[in-house]
Structure 1
Amino acid sequence: MPTAPAVSRSRAGRVVALLAVLVVAVFAFCWRLGVETSSGDELVYRDTAAAYLRGDFTRNLEHPPLAKLLIAAGHAAGGGSLVADRVVPALCGVLTAVVLFAVARRCAGFRAGVLAALLWSVLPLAPGVVPAHLVRRATLEAPLLLFSACAVLAAQRVAQRPTPARWALLGTAVGAATASKLTGAVTAVVVLALLWEERRRWRPALAGAVLAGAVSVVVFLAAYLPFGADAPSAVRTVVQWQLDHADRGAVQSVAGEQYRFPPWWSPWWFQAEYLTWPGLVALWGTALVGAVLTWWRAAVRPLVLLLVAFTAAVALSPLKLPQYHDVLVPPLCALAAVGFTRLLQRRGVAGAVVASLAAAPLVVVAAGHLADVATTRPADYRLAADLLRERGLAGPGDAVVVWGDAEALRRLLPGSGIVTGTDVDCSAAALVVDPTVADRMAGADVAAWVAACGAGTVVRADRLAVHLLP
C-alpha cells in the first residue's frame, strides 16, 4: 500500500502535469490571436456575428446560428476587434482539451487523459489556406468540435449510470453541436452505443434515448429564437441549402487534380497536407490500437462509434471541402492517446518501441506547429496589401486583379480597385494569385497574362504571388 508521502507526491505530479498541459493549450490556441491572417469564411462569420448584434438575422442562413451567436458574444464584449471575435473559438479549443482529457481518462486512465489533451493542443488542425489551428479563427468549427467531444463525455456518463438528467445532458450536447453546424447531428450516433449497453433494460434505455432526442431538438430550435417569426423559414433554408450544396458539389484540388465531387480518400489527403503522411499513419494507427485493445470497455464504445460515424460521413459525402474532416480530430486524438497508453502498459519492450516509432513523426509535426504559433506574424493578404500600398497601387484608379479572396484584400485596401475574373487585362496594375484558390478557377492561366502583357515583376507575399505588370 502506498505511503501518505508517496500518494501526496503522486497527486502533486498529476497537478503539475495538468497545469503544464493547460498552459500549452492556452498558448497554442490563444497566443497572438490578433495577428491578421486571412480566411474568407472567417470574414463572413465575423460580419454575420456583428449583424446579429444589430438585430439583422438575414445573413449566412446556410448554417445554423449557435456558433455565430457565440462569436457575437465575444464581439460585443471586446468591442469588435479581431481578438474579440476569435477569443470564443480559442476558448472552445482550450475547453475541448479539458473535455478530451476527461474522455480519455475514462477510457484508459490519467496518462491517456493527459496525452489526449496534449495531442489535441500541439498537433496542427490546419485544413484550407491558413497555416493556423482551426480554432484560432472565428469560424463555426471550434464550437462544433467542443460540443461533439461533450457528447462523448455525456454518453460515457450515461453508460456509467443512466439517469434522466444525464440523458438530457447528452441531448443538450448533440443539439448544441447540430446548432453550430449541421454536421453535428452525426454525434447522435453515440446513443446507439448506449442502447447496446442497456439492451437488457431496453425500455428505460429507449425512454432515455427519446428524452435525449427531444432535448437535442429543443436546443437546436432554441438557437433560432433570436430570429423571431423568421425562425421557421431560417430552419427550412439551412436544410435546403445544404441539400442543394451537396447536389451541385464544390470544386477542390486533390493530389493535383480538380474534382467537383472529390474521391472518398480526399479527407485523408487534406489531413496529410499538414500532418505529413508518417504523422497521419502514426495517429490513425495508434487510434486503431486503442480501439481494438479497449473495445471491451463501455467508456470506449461511444468514442469509437463517433469516429467511425464521422469517418463514414466524410468519406461518403459528395462534398469534401478541406475543413470537413475536422470532426475526426477530437475522437482521433482521444483514441490515439488510449492507444499510446496501452502500448506503454504492455510487458516487454515491444510496446514501448512501437509507441516511440509512432510518436516520432508526431513530435516533429507538433514542434513545427508550436514554433509557427510562437512566431505568428501577418501573412498572405495583409502582406500583399502592404506591398501594393508601398508601390502606390492601392488607389481607386489602379485595377488589381485577384485570383483568390478578393474580399479579404478589399477590406485591407478600402477604396482600391480590386477586381476579379480570369480574362487577360493588360491595363491592370497588378495580378495577385493565391495558388490555393487559383488552382480551382477555370481559365486562371498566368502564362497567358505574361505572354500578352509581358513578364513584369513577381514579388512573394507569403503564399501569394503578386505580379506587378509592366
Structure 2
Amino acid sequence: MTTVTEPPAHAAPPGPGPLARFADRPAVRWTALVVVFVWGAYQSLWNILAANFNADEPQYILVGRLYLSGDLTANHEQPPTAKYLFGAIQLLFGEGPLAPRLLAGSLTVLAGAIIFLWLRPELGWMPALVPTAFWLLLPRGVSGTFEFRLDRFAVLDPVMVFFAIAAMAAAWQWHRGRSIVWIGIAAVSLGLSATSKPTTAVIIPAFLLLILVRRPWKDALLALAVAVPALALTVVLVYWPIGVVSGISDLVAFQGAQNATGHLIDLAGTATAHPPWWANLYFAWKGVGPVAVVVFAIGTVAALFDRRHRFLVAYLALALALLVIFYLFIAKNALPSYYYAWMWAICLLAGIGVVWLLRAPVVRGVRTVLRVIGAAALALALVSAVTTSLLVWNDGPTGFGRIDSTLREDGITSGLILVSGAAPWEWDETIGDRATADPTAACIVAVATKVSPRSPISPAVTAFIDAHRAELRETMLNEVTFYAFDRATAAANCR
C-alpha cells in the first residue's frame, strides 16, 4: 500500500512559475528597464516647452540668472540651491525656460535611476521596476491648472525631491554595510535638498532611525560624527554667497510672516487664506487623480504587511509621515503643489506594496486574492500612465497663452486686452504689457475674463462686455472666456 505523506508546514514554497522564469530572462529584464526609462524620459522631457509658465517659474529662472551674474539680493524667501542650478544651466545652454525645464525633467529621470538601483538589491530586478515606474509615469499635477506633472517646470520642488531621494538611498547603502562615505553623501544630499526648499529638513528623524536602530553604538556615533558636520557644512557653503546669517534670517522671517498672515488660495471654489488642515490632501487628490489615488492607496496599505522588508517600509513610512504631518498640521498654508514633497515616498511604498501583493507568502486562497488585487493595481497604474502620456503629447498653451495666436488668426496683431478675474502671473508672461484692467483705456481689441474666487471679475469689465456684446465674438480658451472685436472694429478702436 502506498502512503501519501503531507509536506511539513515549514516546507519551502514551490519554485517560480513559468511567468516568473520568463521575466527573469536577461533579455526580458533589460527590455523592461529600457521601456520604463524611455517612457519616463518621454513623460519628463518631451514637448516640455509647450505649456504656459508655472506661477513661480519666471521668478526662479530670472533669479537664477541674477545669482550667476553676481546679483545675489533677490528672492531670499526661498533657499538658493535650485536657483543656482537654474542659473548655471542657462549660463551653459542659453537663457529662457527651456534649459531649466530640461534640468528639472532630467533630475526626475535620474531620481528614477536612483530608485531602481536602490531597490533592486532589496526587491529584485523586475519588482524594483514597479516603484520606479510609479515615480516616472504616474501624474503629479497642480490642481486648478493644466500642469499634470509639476516636475516638467523649473520650480524648486523637483530639485528638492531629487536630492531627498538621493539622500535616502545613500543612507540606506550605509545601513546595508557599505562605507561610511555613503552617510557623508546622504548628509550632503539632504543639505542640498533642504537648501533647495526647506521642507525636507523635517525628514531628519528618518535618518536618525536608520543610524541608531540595529547598529552598534560605535557605528552610530561614527555616522553621526560624519553626517552632522557634512550637513552643516553643506548648508553654510550653499548660503555663503548670499550671506549665511542674512539669507537664513530672511527665509525664516518670510516663512513666519506667511504662516501668520496666510496665503490666499482657491480651495474647492472658495477663496481662503487660512485653509483647513485637509487642504493639501484635497490638492493631492485633484493633482494625482482618482485612478492613481486608488493605486497608491492599495499599494501603500499593502506595504505595511511586507514583513520581509519591514525596516525599509518603516524608513520610508517615517519620512512620509513627517512630511504629511508637517503640511497638514504645522504649516498654516496650503498650495496645490505642496503635496509633491511627499509623493516620492508614496510611489516607493506603493510600489513595494504592489510587489508584495503579487508574491505574498500566504496560503493559496489568500494568495490568489492578493495577486488579483495587485494585478488590478498595476492595470490601473497603466491606465493612469497612458493618460498622462497623452497629456504630454497634447501639451501646449492654455488659457491666456492662447490669446495672441487667436487674435493673429483674426488678423489682429496689436492693441490692448482688457483682463479681469485672474492674478497678474496668469497673463503676465503671455500677453504682458498688452494687458489692461482699465475699461476706459484706448485701443482695446479684446476682453479676457476668468471665474476665480480669489480674483472676482470687476463690475466695470462686466459693464464693458455688456455694452459691446453685439460687437464681441465669445470664445472659450480653456478656462478663459475670451471676447474679441472683429478686425475692422479693433482697428477703429485704435484710431
Q: TM-score, normalised by structure 1?
A: 0.88
Give RMSD over aligned pairs.
Answer: 2.9
- Residues 458 and 466 of structure 1 are in contact (CA less than 8 Å); yes or no, is this contact kept in structure 2? yes
Question: Which residue number in structure 1 is paired with residue 81 of structure 2?
Answer: 66
Compared with structure 1, are the counterparts of its residues 344 and 447 closer, same or farther at alpha carbon in structure 2 (3 Å cutoff)?
farther
Task: Tell me whether 1:54 sits opposite 2:78 in the alignment.
Answer: no
Structure 1 equivalent of residue 180 of structure 2: 164
Distance (Å, rounded) in 2 between the aligned partners of 1:236 and 1:104: 39
Residue 385 (structure 1) aligns with: 404
**Equivalent-residue separation in structure 2 for 1:114 and 1:439 (angstroms):** 42
CA distance change for structure 1 residues 279 and 90 in 2, over 3 Å: closer, same or farther?
A: closer
* Equivalent position SS for 1:400: strand
Shift of 1:394: 6.1
After superposition, residues 260-409 of structure 1 pair within 5 angstroms as: 260-294=273-307, 297-316=310-329, 317-346=331-360, 347=364, 348-390=367-409, 395=414, 398=416, 400-407=418-425, 409=427
Aligned to 1:150: 166
- 71 and 168 in structure 1: CA distance in 2 versus 1, 3 angstrom threshold: same
- For the residues of structure 2 that align with 1:295 and 1:308, how far apart are their CA atoms? 21
SS across alignment from 1:258 = strand
Distance, in Å, in 1 between the alignment partners of 2:348 and 2:263 is 31
Is the CA contact (8 Å cut-off) linking 1:107 and 1:300 kept in structure 2? Answer: no
Counterpart residue identity of residue 250, structure 2:
T
Counterpart position of 2:251: 238
One-letter amino acid matched to 2:207: V
The whole-number CA distance in structure 2 between the counterparts of 1:26 and 1:282 is 22
Counterparts in 2 of 1:290 and 1:253: CA distance versus 1, 3 Å: same
Q: How far 1:371 moved relative to its partner?
A: 0.8
Aligned pairs (5 A) from 1:66-215: 66-128=81-143, 129-161=145-177, 163-198=179-214, 201-215=216-230
Give the letter aligned to residue 329 of structure 1.
M
Q: 2:426, 2:413 → 1: CA distance? A: 14
Counterpart-to-counterpart distance in 1, 2:464 and 2:342: 43
Pair 1:177–1:320, CA change in 2 (3 A)? same
- Tell me the distance in 2 between the aligned counterparts of 1:137 and 1:367: 20
Q: What stretches of structure 2 of length at least 5 have no aligned partner?
A: 1-14, 490-495
Is 1:419 the equivalent of 2:436? yes
1:258 aligns with 2:271: yes
Deviation at residue 106 of structure 1 after TM alignment: 4.6
Partner of 2:39: 24
1:278 is displaced (CA, Å) by 4.2
The separation in 1 between residues aligned to 2:158 and 2:89, in whole angstroms, is 14
Mapped to 1, the partners of 2:158 and 2:465 lie a distance apart of 45
Q: CA deviation at 1:415?
A: 4.5
Contact (CA 8 Å) 2:287, 2:336: kept in 1 or not? Answer: no
Per-residue deviation at 1:356?
2.8
Unaligned runs of 5+ in 1: none
> Secondary structure of the equivalent of 2:210?
helix
CA distance in 2, matches of 1:269, 1:86: 27
The residue aligned with 1:439 is: 453
Separation of aligned partners in 1, 2:125 and 2:106 = 23
Q: What is the rounded CA distance, in whole Å, between the counterparts of 1:171 and 1:326 in structure 2?
A: 22
1:361-415: CA deviation from partner (whole Å, max 9, x where unpaired): 33322211101112223333321222245557664x6352243353563443455
Q: Which sits farther off after the overlay, 131-140 or 292-301?
A: 292-301
Q: Work out whether residues 197 and 298 of structure 1, in 8 Å CA contact, stay in contact via their aligned partners in 2.
A: no
Q: Percent identity?
A: 22
Contact 2:420–2:458 under 8 Å retained in 1: no
Distance 1:63 1:359 in 2: 38
Q: Which has the larger displacement, 426-435 or 188-197?
A: 426-435
Instruction: Report if the CA contact (8 A) 2:135-2:347 is conserved.
Output: yes
| Structure 2 counterpart of 1:205, one-letter code | A
Offset from partner CA, 1:180-203 (integer Å, 9 cap, x none): 10112123122232144246x335
Query: SS state of the match for residue 282, structure 1?
Result: helix
Q: Map Cα deviations across residues 91-144 of structure 1 (whole Å, 9 max, x no partner).
A: 111011112223333543323320111111111111142333111111111111
Q: Does the 8 A contact of 1:64 with 1:181 survive in 2? A: yes
CA distance in 1 between partners of 2:88 and 2:146 (Å): 24
Question: TM-score under structure 2 normalisation?
Answer: 0.84
**Residues 415 and 116 from structure 1, CA distance in 2 versus in 1: closer, same or farther, beyond 3 angstroms?**
same
Identify if the C-alpha distance between structure 1 residues 70 and 464 changes in structure 2 by more than 3 Å, giving closer, same or farther.
same
- Do the aligned partners of 2:291 and 2:384 also contact (CA within 8 Å) in 1? no
User: For residues 163 and 458 of structure 1, do their structure 2 counterparts lie closer, same or farther at Cα, with a shift above 3 Å needed?
Assistant: same
- In structure 2, what is the Cα distance between the partners aligned to 1:248 and 1:106? 48
Q: Could you tell me whether the CA contact under 8 Å between 1:426 and 1:453 is conserved in 2? A: no
Contact 2:417–2:448 (CA<8 Å) still a contact in 1? no
Q: How many residues align?
A: 458
Q: Is the 8 A contact 1:99 1:153 kept in 2?
A: yes
Question: 2:398·2:477 contact (CA, 8 Å) conserved in 1?
Answer: yes
Q: Structure 2: how far apart are the matches of 1:314 and 1:114?
A: 29
Deviation at 1:172, TM superposition (A): 0.9
CA distance in 2, matches of 1:89, 1:106: 27
Letter in 1 for 2:118: V
Distance 1:415 1:97 in 2: 41
Q: What CA distance in whole angstroms lies between the structure 2 residues aligned with 1:445 and 1:351?
A: 58
Distance 1:451 1:18, change over 3 A: closer
Between stretches 369-378 and 88-97, larger displacement belongs to 369-378
Q: Following the alignment from structure 2 to structure 1, what is the Cα–Cα distance between the partners of residues 251 and 342?
A: 23
The answer for the alignment partner of 1:461 in structure 2 is 477
Give how far 1:327 is off: 1.1
State the one-letter code of the partner of 2:124: G
Q: Secondary structure at the match of 1:323?
A: coil
